[in-house]
Structure 1
Amino acid sequence: MSIVIKDAAGIAAMREACRIASEVLDALTPHVQPGITTAELDRICAEEMAKRGSVSATLGYQPPGYPPYPGNMCTSLNHVVCHGIPNDKPLKKGDILNMDVTVIKDGWYGDNSRMFLVGECSIAAKRLCQLTFEAMWIGIEQVRPGGRFGDIGHAIQTFAEQHNLSVVREFCGHGVGQKFHEEPQVLHYGRRGTLEEMKPGMIFTIEPMLNLGRREVKELNDGWTIVTRDRSLSAQWEHSVLVTETGYEVLTLSAGSPATPDFVGQRPSPAQA
């Protein structure tokens, strides 16, 4: 299957869908407090999507071999790596939560996720969330025409392992557009100079999942929830990124997006590194 190159109209539509996905996370942010349930956050998520003329891509989503996903977004708590299902258990101080929001707007998919600290968290939890955020941006900084997708994975893996974090390998970023998941797969580990070449008009997610402990994961009986085998904390951040003629454009940015790290725009190119 070939990688879809978006034209100007497709890129404009993706900017809109991705901006909305980010704005939904903006709207959810003040609600993430001890005592609220992820089910209530999911309800608010659906309301915020509807306000913006969009719907959830995850609700009822059913890849082959999976049950229909029951939430408007994924809510992954503490040692849940990804695909956590919203439920009625209240959040408590010290929890870390990933909310992964994908909207459909006029047939186009906008996909992003963020980590949230619930009340005061441990130093280890805060460090994991911050380093995973930086790892995502280090991967994004590799995006340029002529680069290879292996450059992204190599940069993320190198950074993570330098900080004694492990990279989940079973799940990866992906192309996104008029389908939820398109080619290519965007691995968060690998070797520089390998895999497909990046070209202007490609849009894909970069969404590293890093663990405090070992990288091995397992699936729970609900058919969706993925957890760390050793029950160590896991964190994930996700942006949707466009390859431009000169570099990249992050499409899932909005007024409430966390500030980009200081190193963004200052890293050397692979030829200089």
Structure 2
Amino acid sequence: MSATTTTITTTTTADLTRKYCAGVACANPAGSLQCPTCLKLGLGTARSFFCSQDCFKKSWSDHKALHKSATSRKPSLLQALKDTLSSPSPLLRVDPESGTYDPYPSFSYTGPLRATYPLSPTRKLPDHIQRPDYHADGIPRSEYAVSASLRKIAILNEEEIEAMRTVCRLAREVLDIAAAAVRPGITTDEIDEIVHKACIERNSYPSPLNYSNFPKSVCTSVNEIICHGIPDARPLQDGDIINIDVTLYHNGFHGDLNETYYVGTPSPSAIRVVETSRDCLNAAIASVKPGMPFREPGNVIEPLAKSRGCSVVRTYCGHGINQLFHCAPNVPHYSKNKAVGVAKKGMVFTIEPMVNLGTWRDKTWPDDWTSATVDGKLSAQFEHTLLVTDDGVEVLTARKADSPGGPIPIPEEELKAVAGKK
């Protein structure tokens, strides 16, 4: 799970449900104006808050259909959603076969992918699993306690380094188990279940679960999703690409890694963006050693990406990791960045370039997590947790000989087509 270059704020479930206006074809943030009839009937906040009085008036003829349904009966959630199929309300459209729906019908998606709800219930963990401080309320207090003005980069001792080696080895095992399940037809929610169970089997907590209210145990980012995709009910399709971002919390330490995998037969452009991201990470890792400025990986990554007609996302960066999920240093992936500090023996951090086929800019879905490319083009990412050694780097999350996935050649015609556009 990547760090963002902006401050993370904690959001409650109630805040998320009323974040966007319920107006017809309106994607504005919700204001404090709530439909008085909804309030009286006790309807959910997601469908009762509006950005303005004018928007409320314009949407009234469609919105009031919800009131009639609510006064006649109190159906189950799924039945209520199915009822909208015969209602003039355009707010939700439920697939009658699967029972799934897009919870953000007014949102301007940037590509073909849509959120596919309902999400499965929050997965439970046995009592013996050690939990991080945010597990109950979503607030990573230990991270917030580190003042931004005193963000000293931790240098781990030998005992701490061994703990990092252990959790990173376990994280690699879990990612490989999840990757082996990738195929057309499996849902990302099923992958989440696989990850969750594999973490429990290793006496570990899945670090993403309830981190700043993230609802699942792993991030699954498909096609145009850059990072932080929430596992849902959409089945993977032949030709998709999927990034699986796994982090484990074990004996007080976090280990973080991700890879992007092909689902079925990939297109030449999909191969280009995936293999470019993989190569960018490997090239950046080769530059890590004591004395390396943390601005340097970006100077390695972006020129390589550009040479293959790709761009590098700037919103998210690599990050320190140890007893904290995210901490100093920040490691940007683009050239001429202003990252502070140099690598020293005993420091542990991630490098995780996000590479896009189109522009580097991103747009976040209304769930406040899912980050998509603004032009809807494919994005790929790879990540390792790295330890700075006496004279170089140790890849704590390194692939094993039998790890699923792995590089494939970029078709020559694809590279020639890119070269011809320059």
Q: Same fold (TM over 0.5)?
A: yes
Deviation of 1:216 (Å): 0.8
Q: What are the within-5 Å matches in structure 2 for residues 188-203 of structure 1?
A: 188-191=333-336, 195-203=340-348
Can you list the C-alpha shifts for 1:12-55, whole angstroms capped at 9, x where unaligned? 00000111111101111221000000000100101111111111
Q: Which residue of 2 aligns with 1:119?
A: 264
Cα distance between partner residues in 1 of 2:370 and 2:233: 16
The aligned counterpart of 1:7 is 157
Which residue identity does 1:97 align to in structure 2?
I
Corresponding residue to 1:101 among 239, 242, 246: 246
The separation in 1 between residues aligned to 2:261 and 2:237, in whole angstroms, is 12
Q: Distance in 2 between matches of 1:192 and 1:156?
A: 12
Q: Decide whether the 8 Å contact of 1:149 with 1:186 is kept in 2.
A: yes
- Residue of structure 2 equivalent to 1:51: 201
* Alignment partner of 1:60 is 2:207: no
Distance 1:244 1:98 in 2: 28
Q: Equivalents in 2 of 1:246, 1:222: separation in Å?
A: 43
Residue 75 of structure 1 is matched in structure 2 by 220
Contact 2:332 2:339 (C-alpha < 8 Å) held by counterparts: no
Which residue matches 1:175? 320
Q: 1:86 and 1:192, CA in 2 relative to 1: closer, same or farther beyond 3 A?
A: closer
Report if aligned partners of 1:147, 1:193 keep a CA contact under 8 Å in 2.
no
Shift in Å at residue 95 of structure 1?
Answer: 0.4
Using the TM superposition, give the Cα deviation of residue 259 of structure 1 relative to its aligned residue in structure 2, in angstroms.
5.8
> Which residue does 2:43 correspond to in 1?
none
Match of 1:161 in 2: 306
Contact 2:298 2:332 in 1 (8 A): yes
Shift of 1:190: 2.6
Alignment RMSD, CA only?
1.6
Structure 2 equivalent of residue 266 of structure 1: none
Determine if contact 2:254/2:323 at 8 Å carries over to the other structure.
yes
CA contact (8 A) 1:145 1:246 kept: yes
1:20-35 map, 5 Å:
20-35=170-185
Report deviation, 1:194.
6.7
Code of the aligned partner of 1:8: E
> How far, CA to CA, are the matches of 1:147 and 1:191 in structure 2?
15
Q: CA deviation at 1:191?
A: 3.5
Q: How does 1:129-140 map to 2 (within 5 A)?
A: 129-140=274-285
Whether the 8 Å contact between 2:219 and 2:228 is mirrored in structure 1 is yes
State the AA in 2 paired with 1:251.
Answer: L
**Per-residue CA distance 1:95-148 (angstroms, 9 max, x = gap):** 000000000000100000010100001011012111110000111111001111
> In structure 2, do the counterparts of structure 1 residues 260 and 251 end up closer, same or farther at CA, with 3 Å as the change threshold?
farther
Q: Shift in Å at residue 189 of structure 1?
A: 1.2
In the alignment, which residue of structure 2 is the partner of 1:267?
Answer: none
Q: Distance in 1 between matches of 2:330 and 2:259?
A: 20
Amino acid at match of 1:81: I
1: distance between equivalents of 2:358 and 2:351?
Answer: 21
Cα distance in 2 for partners of 1:60, 1:252 equals 23
- What is the rounded CA distance, in whole Å, between the counterparts of 1:151 and 1:189 in structure 2? 9
Count of residue pairs the alignment pairs up = 256
C-alpha contact 1:167 1:189 (8 A) present in aligned 2: yes
Identity %: 43
Contact 2:330 2:339 in 1 (8 A): no
Report the equivalent of 1:222: 367
* TM-score normalised by L of structure 2: 0.59
Q: Whose relative contact order is higher, 1 or 2, with alpha carbons under 8 Å and at least 6 apart?
A: 1
Q: Distance in 1 between matches of 2:157 and 2:210?
A: 29
Aligned AA (2:185) = G
Amino acid of the residue matched to residue 252 of structure 1?
A: T
After TM superposition, give the deviation of residue 260 of structure 1 in Å.
8.3
Q: What are the ranges of 5 or more consecutive residues in structure 1 without an aligned counterpart?
A: 63-67, 262-273
| Residue 59 of structure 2: aligned partner | none
CA distance in 1, matches of 2:316, 2:259: 16
Higher helix share: 2
Report if the CA contact (8 A) 1:214-1:230 is conserved: yes
Moved over 3 A (4+): 191-195, 256-261
Which structure's CA Rg is the greater one?
Answer: 2
C-alpha separation in 1, matches of 2:259 and 2:385: 12
- Counterparts of 1:42 and 1:142, CA distance in 2: 33
Question: Is 1:234 the equivalent of 2:234?
Answer: no
Is 1:86 the counterpart of 2:231? The answer is yes
